[in-house]
């Protein structure tokens, strides 16, 4: 997946978790919780969806790396590359 696909995948997950939130104008470098009405349960649901859809395990020590859309993309890219390397 390229960065645009990863970004869209994250937006899709957020839209599924919080369908009433407008994700069309998310700023990539601003904390998601500052832009949207996401509570801690929503955040945990997003983490669980990352694991379910992409096989990405996010330990709680890494949660801060998912604060912004850009940081989510960077984190997920790294996890997907690492997973692909293990499979090859």
Crossing angle for the helix pair 40-54 and 3-17, nearest 10 degrees?
Answer: 130
Nearest one of 83, 33, 16, 20 to 54, comparing CA atoms: 83
State how many domains the chain has.
1
88 has a pLDDT exceeding 80: no
Place of tokens 């990405």: 56
**59 is in which domain, residue-wise?**
3-19+26-87
84 has a pLDDT exceeding 80: no
Give tens-digit pLDDT for 34-61: 999 888 899 999 999 988 998 888 999 9
Contact 37, 21 (CB under 8 A): yes
pLDDT value of residue 54 = 87
Strand (E) or helix (H) holding 5: helix 3-17
CATH code for the domain in which residue 33 is found:
1.10.1200.10
């Amino acid at each position: 997946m390229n960065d645009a696909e990863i970004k869209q995948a994250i937006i899709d997950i957020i839209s599924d978790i919080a369908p009433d939130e407008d994700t069309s104008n998310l700023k990539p470098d601003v904390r998601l919780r500052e832009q949207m009405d996401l509570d801690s349960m929503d955040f945990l649901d997003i983490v669980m969806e990352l694991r379910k859809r992409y096989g990405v395990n996010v330990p709680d020590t890494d949660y801060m790396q998912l604060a912004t859309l850009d940081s989510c993309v960077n984190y997920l890219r790294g996890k997907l590359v690492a997973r692909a390397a293990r499979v090859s």
